């Protein structure tokens, strides 16, 4: 089961925000059968994928958490016996470490895994046998703000892996170990591909929410007209080149899923609108257009 993203209050290391959120969760408005409503939903499935929105000293990112839980023999429909918890984080440490690599954020991993364990225990999960692991995924270059797109791509890849594992476990090898091995995901992710797919999904979900009594429209803008977005708390200008993606892709992650020092490639918005791309001529010629949905 993949659930809607959540954060940043419980995952960012702010004790006051965390306390306020748990007090809010305890309100009768969010209870079902004397339990926070999301706990009941989580326990309906053995696999849960949960994008977490995190704000801390290293950045503002989406981090993917996933877990596998089993059920008691006396209550086969409730999966509240935690087995494994995995966290996939595309952010790497900005400082250069050993072997001229940017390494994983161990402090963030420990904090989020601890906060998740606390969250699950408060919901009645049995975490006595919980094993927490750090998942490997494609690292995000420092000039990108694509953790959301990367989280989407990671969830999509992980869902396929879970589907294959369940098929093998149930249909082909019933004696297979009940604890799945969380995979190392792709070392390379194209965030613009994920962004296009996410845009289409959002459009169709929006249309279905109004029973398809809607129309998808494309707004045309004047060539060169500047417009802005806010990224990581900073106002940044965008140009059509930024929305379509660069002509070169992001770097391939190291075999240890670290980021090579100096491997950053500019693949995200530049600070000022109107700046010409390094290669302003499209590779196939023609006219560049921008669509806003």
Most confident range (mean pLDDT) of 21-35, 109-123, 181-195 is 109-123
Binned at pLDDT 50, 70 and 90, residue 270 comes out as very low
How would you write 209-268 as a 3-class SS string? HCCCCCCCCCECCCCCCCEEEEECCEEEEECHHHHHCCCCCCCCCCCCCCEECCCCCCCC
> Given the structure tokens 């940043």, which residue do they identify?
8
Residue 144: per-residue pLDDT: 82
d(CA 171, CA 165) in angstroms, rounded, equals 10
Comparison of pLDDT for 28 and 229, the residue scoring more: 28
pLDDT of the residue at 263? 63
Q: What is the pLDDT of residue 240?
A: 61
| pLDDT classification of 169: cutoffs 50, 70, 90 | confident
Q: Say how far apart CA 153 and CA 191 lie, in whole Å.
A: 8
The Cα angle at residue 232 between residues 231 and 233, in degrees rounded to 5: 90
Q: How does pLDDT run across 33-59, given as a tens digit for each residue? A: 788 888 989 999 999 999 999 999 999
On the question of pLDDT at 285 being above 60, the answer is no
Q: What is the pLDDT of residue 114?
A: 95
Residue 85 DSSP code: E
Query: Average pLDDT in the 156-178 region?
Result: 78
Give the whole-angstrom CA distance, residue 41 versus residue 224: 47
Average pLDDT, the chain: 81
pLDDT at 164: 86
> Which CA distances in Å does 250 have to 166, 211, 239, 246?
33, 39, 19, 9
What residues contact residue 24 under an 8 Å CB cut-off, 6+ apart?
30
How far are the Cα atoms of 135, 143, 145, 178 from residue 181, in angstroms, in the given order? 10, 32, 29, 10
pLDDT, position 266:
41
Provide the 3-class DSSP secondary structure of residue 281: coil
| pLDDT-wise least confident of 169-183, 190-204, 256-270 | 256-270
Q: Examine the pLDDT at 239 and tell me if it is beyond 70.
A: no
For the beta sheet containing 101-104, the strands, ordered from the edge strand earlier in sequence to the opposite edge, are: 92-96, 101-104, 259-260
Query: In this predicted structure, what is the pLDDT of residue 268?
Result: 39
User: What pLDDT is recorded for position 174?
Assistant: 61
Q: Rounded CA gap, 74 and 86, in Å?
A: 27
What's the confidence (pLDDT) of residue 244?
62
Q: In sequence order, what are the beta bridge partners of 70?
A: 81
Task: Please tell me the distance from the alpha carbon of residue 287 to that of residue 241, in angstroms, as a whole number.
Answer: 12
């Amino acid at each position: 089961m993949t659930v809607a993203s959540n954060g940043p209050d419980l995952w960012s290391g702010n004790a006051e925000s965390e306390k306020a959120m748990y007090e809010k969760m305890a309100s009768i408005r969010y209870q079902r059968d004397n339990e926070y409503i999301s706990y009941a939903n989580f326990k309906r499935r053995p696999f849960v994928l949960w994008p977490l929105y995190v704000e801390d000293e290293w950045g503002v990112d989406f981090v993917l958490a996933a877990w596998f839980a089993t059920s008691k023999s006396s209550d086969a429909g409730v999966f509240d016996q935690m087995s494994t918890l995995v966290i996939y984080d595309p952010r790497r440490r900005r400082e250069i470490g050993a072997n001229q690599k940017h390494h994983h954020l161990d402090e963030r991993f420990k904090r989020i895994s601890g906060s998740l364990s606390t969250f699950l225990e408060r919901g009645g999960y049995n975490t006595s046998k919980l094993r927490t692991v750090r998942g490997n995924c494609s690292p995000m270059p420092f000039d990108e703000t694509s953790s959301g797109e990367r989280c989407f791509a990671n969830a999509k890849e992980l869902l396929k892996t879970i589907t294959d594992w369940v098929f093998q476990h149930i249909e082909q090898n019933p004696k297979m170990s009940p604890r799945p091995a969380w995979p190392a995901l792709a070392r390379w992710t194209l965030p613009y591909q994920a962004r296009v797919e996410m845009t289409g999904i959002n459009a169709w979900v929006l249309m279905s929410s109004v029973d398809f009594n809607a129309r998808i429209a494309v707004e045309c803008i004047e060539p060169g007209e500047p417009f802005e977005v806010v990224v990581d708390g900073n106002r940044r200008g965008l140009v059509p080149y930024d929305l379509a993606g660069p002509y070169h892709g992001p770097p391939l992650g190291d075999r240890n899923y670290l980021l090579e020092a100096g491997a950053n490639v500019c693949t995200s918005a530049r600070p000022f609108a109107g700046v010409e791309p390094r290669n302003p001529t499209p590779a196939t010629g023609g006219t560049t257009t921008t669509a806003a949905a």
